Structure 1
């Protein structure tokens, strides 16, 4: 509130001195930027507790997911591998569909 009370005499003094147009535009631009900065700071201050709480919830969920994944991996490591019955004779693996020998031209 004190800053507003100081701005009014400053504006009156500037108008009494008949400043150039560029100087007035510069002061107006600076004032607008200062006002925008103050509003953004206020919004950030008001919203920061909510952002911190959501960030903590996300970190807790990620930690729980990691714990579950590690527990699953540890549980699978303790189990003996199950023997799968073979369905037929083993065939050699097939070549990929596009190998160097199949190319029509060099790259």
Structure 2
């Protein structure tokens, strides 16, 4: 409510000074954009689901058998290891190229 109490005297002062059309258009555009921002925020807050993606994954994991979970974890570890090796090779190759250019 503080901003509303500040906005009303500001609007009265602005109208008493008789601003030019460009300034009025600019303030109106800003007000409309702010209003749409508030409306979009409210719609997003109301329409967003209250459950997060992590809780859905937890429910799926509970339904999977233990062997399938273990296999998925091993597959993930292999992928992570392959990515780490790829990064290390790229760094080594970059270092070799830098050395060749430096000599």
TM-score (norm 1): 0.47
**Which structure has the greater CA radius of gyration?**
1
Q: Say which structure is richer in helix.
A: 2
Q: Which has the higher contact order (CA 8 A, sep 6+)?
A: 2
TM-score (norm 2): 0.49
